[in-house]
Structure 1
């Protein structure tokens, strides 16, 4: 990374802020979806129906079943040996959301009075015992999740407008914009306010104590979903709550342009 990024920094005339740019790079896990009409139970996936244990109640909001966003097989994730992975190494993590913004004024953005409008559930049993459960009023096309560790460069503040423009060109060249930014860990790609700053007070934590459990981008090609105006949804948790496996205290944010 550093050699390639250094060459881009020189190319775009930003050698005088090279240290700041390189220091801002972070590692994360990107999630690449691949549509599949048939996926075995217990696999990491977006959409379709969740593979739930019999004893787990399907989550609802105002008596309406939540939409199933996706599930992460934690053994698959652990196999990446990502050094910042503090999640349990076995079981399944499920993500749900009240996706009703096109039909209802009651859009769940992540406010405290909407706490039941999203859910992160953890199950630590044998994933081979799981079976699909159809409950949501709508679903997204089933897509296998493919994981990879990558390095990303966030937008950073530079002192002059000229440097800002050069950095934006560098950023776009390095990232090849256009692909959906589905992501686990690392820094959320905020569209409005900084996501961690927005949610940390709700869970009584500092901004640097927050962890990104899952970021789901607008993705019409794979997931047939558009979050508002090209937005994203985010699931976050504090390090303290993660250590205690308090996934019920995870927080959610919806941002769009």
Structure 2
């Protein structure tokens, strides 16, 4: 693996291979954005009867759409579209507030077209400042995908193989660099181990807040970085987690999202 050689860990190929889990990453592309293609920002491609999601009277921001056939991820459907929405600035830790995010699956046989976001003006400081137009529209860009491998976060997983890297400063730095190069520096990641900014209790939090199953029954659906016009807090990341049973049934109503930043 050339990535190991780049950080001087080629002698630890067996240990690294035993830890790796397959995932999908994505980066910005300069290709033309065709209707129904995978992209971030802009306006979504949705059915004619689509109703824009709101949270407590506020329209959610459209983050991205995934054309599942383009993604070709082992955890996603083989076709159809997956759309992600978020009410930026809302942080919640109770299930009753779960609708501050919305993930919508559209089957491949449903006709879609571009849909403009509704616009409302929210008063600021009791009308003393110029109203803010919502939702925010993020810069639009096509995205391209690549199969990759993810690594667990040091100190958070009880793997014997990790002790080697955690007890030597040089190996510790090399391992962290390798993890960052594989997935942490990318625009987004689908499945695999997350790249926590603060701590890796992401699936544990999802299981606790949603009151469903154990942490090991949840997995990372999507990690979205502060790149491509996105900025989550202080250069943070969004982590969308889903229960394995819900994923198997293409049920995305109980996805939980956590934001971590510096």
TM-score bracket for the superposition, by shorter chain length? 0.7 to 0.9
- Give yes or no for the alignment of 1:150 onto 2:148: yes
Q: Aligned residue for 1:116?
A: 99
Q: CA deviation at 1:182?
A: 1.1
Q: CA RMSD in A?
A: 2.9
* TM-score, L = length of structure 1: 0.80
Q: Is 2:82–2:105's contact at 8 Å kept on the other side of the alignment?
A: yes
* 1:58 aligned to which of 52, 61, 74: 52
Q: Aligned partners of 2:5 and 2:93: how far apart in 1?
A: 36
Q: Aligned partners of 1:122 and 1:249: how far apart in 2?
A: 13
Q: Aligned residue for 1:104?
A: none
Q: Aligned residue for 2:78?
A: 89
Q: Aligned residue for 2:214?
A: 206
SS of residue matched to 1:148 = strand
* TM-score, L = length of structure 2: 0.79
Using a 3 Å threshold, how does the CA distance of structure 1 residues 44 and 255 change in structure 2: closer, same or farther?
Answer: same
Q: Aligned residue for 2:194?
A: 188
Q: Is 2:223–2:240's contact at 8 Å kept on the other side of the alignment?
A: yes
SS of residue matched to 2:51 = coil
Using a 3 Å threshold, how does the CA distance of structure 1 residues 77 and 127 change in structure 2: closer, same or farther?
Answer: farther
Q: Deviations over 1:198-246 (max 9, x none)?
A: 2123251222222222111111xx2x22211121001111110111221
- Give yes or no for the alignment of 1:31 onto 2:26: yes
Q: Is 2:43–2:114's contact at 8 Å kept on the other side of the alignment?
A: no
Using a 3 Å threshold, how does the CA distance of structure 1 residues 7 and 245 change in structure 2: closer, same or farther?
Answer: closer
Q: CA deviation at 1:35?
A: 5.6
Structure 2, unpaired ranges of 5+: 119-133, 156-162
Q: Aligned partners of 1:193 and 1:111: how far apart in 2?
A: 19
Q: Aligned residue for 2:128?
A: none
Q: Aligned partners of 1:127 and 1:211: how far apart in 2?
A: 28
Structure 1, unpaired ranges of 5+: 102-106
Q: Aligned residue for 2:240?
A: 235
